[in-house]
Chains A and B, each alone.
Chain A
Amino acid sequence: MPLLEIQKLTHRFAGLCAVSDFNFAIEPHELVGIIGPNGAGKTTVFNLITGVYRASEGSIKFEDQELVGLTPHKITRSGIARTFQNIRLFKELSVLDNVRIAHYGQIAYTPAEALLHIGRFRAEEKRITSQALDLLSIFKLDEMAGEKAKNLPYGLQRRLEIARALATKPKLLLLDEPAAGMNPNEIIQLMEFIGWIRQTFSVTIILIEHQMRLVMGICERIVVLDFGATIAAGLPAEIQNHPRVLEAYLGVEVTP
């Protein structure tokens, strides 16, 4: 049974069809890449899965549960976490608080207990803080736990965003252009890093990317989008020489 199954997904923005009749399925522990030229609708697919947009048509099933219509925090709690193309950390808050906020759904005390600092409050805060610190030390960010997120260098901000996403304890991790703004050397490191995350946290990963090197290097399967429609799908080697993919990326040769 697939972990995530998308059927006939269509989304329109005031007449513009951003995603049309998109079908997709991913098995547990797979690593699948979604590629495509700018404006192909890749990020829109992520926004539809995570509930930022409500799909115009179609269904998204996660572990047999329908996601269309659920609010983003419910979708996240059911086990899907994501990062963003342009980093969206809580900039003015500390690194530790960035991760602790992602534990929001895992805290067992009520607002009344929080207001009066009674009952389970103390124990729960200690548990969450300890978990967050452990996660930060896995990502080698514990030294910066007290720093404001905006003061971190770019590469560490990207790493913190992944750590924050993993703090929600996801089964499926959606990475939106994790290699944006990285040089070839950093991309190689990132490839190892993503593989390591997949092993350590045993998550399934869907990856949106522009950098062919990254996608071809680690993805087991690739889906190519153009103008909101799937134009090709298959193994990296198949995609590389697929005529329609070349067409989408490089254009059609005009014979005079």
Chain B
Amino acid sequence: MSNSSDTSYSALIERWHMLTGTRLFRAVVMIAGIAFCIAVDTFDFVDLYLQLILIYVGINIILTVSLNLINGYMGEFSVGHAGFMAVGAYIASILTVHVFPPNAQNLLFPLAILAGGMAAALVGFLVAIPSFKTRGDYLAIVTLAFGMIVKSILENIDAVGGPRGLLGMEKLTTLPWVFFWTALSVWVIRNLVYSNFGRGVLSIREDEIASDLMSVNTRQVKIIAFVVSSFFAGIAGGLFAHALQFINPRMFDILKSTDILIMVYLGGIASIGGSILGAVIYTILLEILRPLGIWRMVLMPLMLVLLMIYRPRGIMGMKEIRMFVPLRDFVTEKLWRQKKKEAGDASA
């Protein structure tokens, strides 16, 4: 008896997976998300504090998914993600505060965010160069140093407020914008992962020398991974600056990078679904535990230690939610079945 209920349960799960993999399901999720975000933004029926948390959830998803490209898919260990975020935050803020005319802020906001992302991508390109020769722990040190450099430079430029920071941004980061950029980052990174270049990224994690010998241009792959990853970190930075309306260099130090790392490893490496879960759970849990005061910072790390002991690969490590696997991979499966059938027919 228990056996039959087991099979019906797993059949149910299988059907759920099939459902989440369909185009219709994705469309429903997207439309519901957009509708919710626009409704919240126009009718203001959700508490402002909750709205801010939702915005942070979105920003953290972008940061986690983009860092997972380097740490999870490529298997390197970058601890300088907050540095890219800082570049995006400062460039976008400088544009909206000092460059763009005050009456066209809303219109030009996406441009500022995009510029922040581009600037971060340019810096990401520079960080990719040492990764040609260094890897593992040594590359981690390079990214650590990079984070420190960004922070020191920002602290010493008076035009952006030095250590006091930069303010004067309007609150331009709205929920619909956050949804848009989050969806875009998830979509683009998923596209990358399930492409020739994404397979190149994975092969570098598995065995870099074998990858090079199998005709993968590892330098090209590393540049693409770092540029895309830092581009979205920059986007997240720009959104963050215009949600908080105040930034200073200390916000983007190693602790911020550590936060992102925790979300990546909590959710699971090499998984987009995992990254989203990790970012959502970590951000919301930190808020729920806020009443505990200083004990929060004891409880959270303790939970992480337990997670690493009982689920060392994170919640979704190396697994993917069907929703984030492109339909074409089902086409692959179909093609495979079809070929097998043809071969069977020919031999029969």
Seen from chain A, the residues whose Cβ lies within 8 Å of a Cβ on chain B are 50, 52, 71-73, 76-77, 81-82, 84, 88-93, 96-97, 100-107, 109, 111, 114-117, 121-122, 124-126, 128-130, 133-134, 137, 142-143, 145-146, 164-165, 167-168
Contact B196 A73 (CB under 8 A): no
Most chain-B Cβ atoms within 10 A of its Cβ — which of A103, A114, A122, A168?
A114
Q: Bound complex: CA of A90 vs CA of B196, how far in Å?
A: 15
* Chain B: interface size category: 35 or more
Chain B at the A interface: mostly helix, strand, loop or mixed?
helix
Given the contacts A73-B213, A88-B209, A104-B196, A142 and B202 also touching, CB distance less than 8 Å: no
- Sample of 7 A–B contacts (CB below 8 Å): A73-B217, A101-B199, A101-B211, A114-B196, A115-B228, A126-B331, A142-B339
Determine whether the beta carbon of A114 is less than 8 Å from that of B195. yes
Contact partners of B332 in chain A: CB under 8 A? 96, 129
Known: A91-B206, A92-B206, A142-B340. A121 touches B213 (CB 8 A): no
How far, in whole Å, are A117 and B190 apart by their CA atoms in the complex?
Answer: 10
- Which residue of A is nearest B220, CB measured? A111
Q: Give the A-B pair count, Cβ closer than 8 A.
A: 126
Q: Is the CB of A90 within 8 A of B339?
A: no
Q: For B210, what are the chain A residues with a Cβ–Cβ distance below 8 Å?
A: 84, 88-90
Interface contacts beyond A72-B213, A102-B215, A146-B333: sample of 8 additional A-B pairs, CB < 8 Å, sorted by A: A92-B202, A92-B205, A92-B318, A96-B332, A124-B196, A129-B335, A133-B336, A167-B214
- In whole Å, how far is B222's beta carbon from the nearest beta carbon of chain A? 12
Residue of A nearest to B213 (CB): A72
Q: Is the CB of B202 within 8 A of A115?
A: no
Alpha-carbon distance A104/B220, docked complex (angstroms): 11
Main SS at interface, chain A? helix
Point out residues on B near A: beta carbons under 8 Å.
188, 191-192, 195-200, 202-203, 205-207, 209-218, 220, 224, 228, 318, 326, 328, 331-333, 335-336, 339-340, 343
Cβ contact within 8 Å between A93 and B202: yes
Q: Which residues of A contact B340 (CB under 8 A)?
A: 137, 142-143
Q: Are A101 and B200 within 8 A (Cβ)? A: yes
A202 to B199, CA, bound (A): 28
